[in-house]
Amino acid sequence: MDDDHHQFVDLLWELTRASDQDLPQRFSAFAQHAAEHFERENGWMIDSEFPPRQCHIDEHEAVMKSVREVQQLVDSGDRAVVRRLAAQLTTWFPAHLQHLDSALSHWLCKRRWGGKPVILRRSDVAASTPAE
């Protein structure tokens, strides 16, 4: 799951930095990853009987609906719409990760190992590092 999230962020970053010429190719790579990423997560939720799975799956589908709509516009030459979607996704993804994906991660870890994952945040690590 973490690897998927890192790749999602990397591809989104590349998308936000792409030239107009590279934008269609970068968007296509992002769209493919997002579809595979969400499909994997949806499968984990269904297979593990994650209780709030439908809300999470619906959110993935809403994003993919936007991605498909934007893909049609990109194919007709619209580049600005990709930049707007990328900006929206950079705002959406951290909250999705913190609320929905972290709950899924906790669920999967508890089902597999009987406990929840340990989460290290940069602010927690920095606060616990002794001052020099």
3-class secondary structure, 42: helix
Residue 129 above 60 pLDDT? no
Task: Band the pLDDT of 125: cuts 50, 70, 90.
Answer: very low
Residues 46-75 pLDDT 10s: 999 999 999 999 999 999 999 999 999 998
Is there a contact between 31 and 71 (Cβ–Cβ < 8 Å)? yes
Lowest mean pLDDT across 11-20, 25-34, 122-131: 122-131
How many structural domains comprise the chain?
Answer: 1
| Structural domain boundaries, residue 50 | 2-128
Residue 46 backbone zone (phi > 0: left; psi -120 to 50: alpha; other: beta)? alpha
Q: For residue 120, what is the domain's CATH number?
A: 1.20.120.50
Sign of CA dihedral 49, 54, 56, 61: positive
Residues 82-99 pLDDT 10s: 999 999 999 999 999 999
Q: Which amino acid is at 34?
A: A
3-class secondary structure, 118: coil
The pLDDT score that the predictor gives to residue 110 is 87
The pLDDT score that the predictor gives to residue 7 is 95
Distance CA 4, CA 37 (A): 6
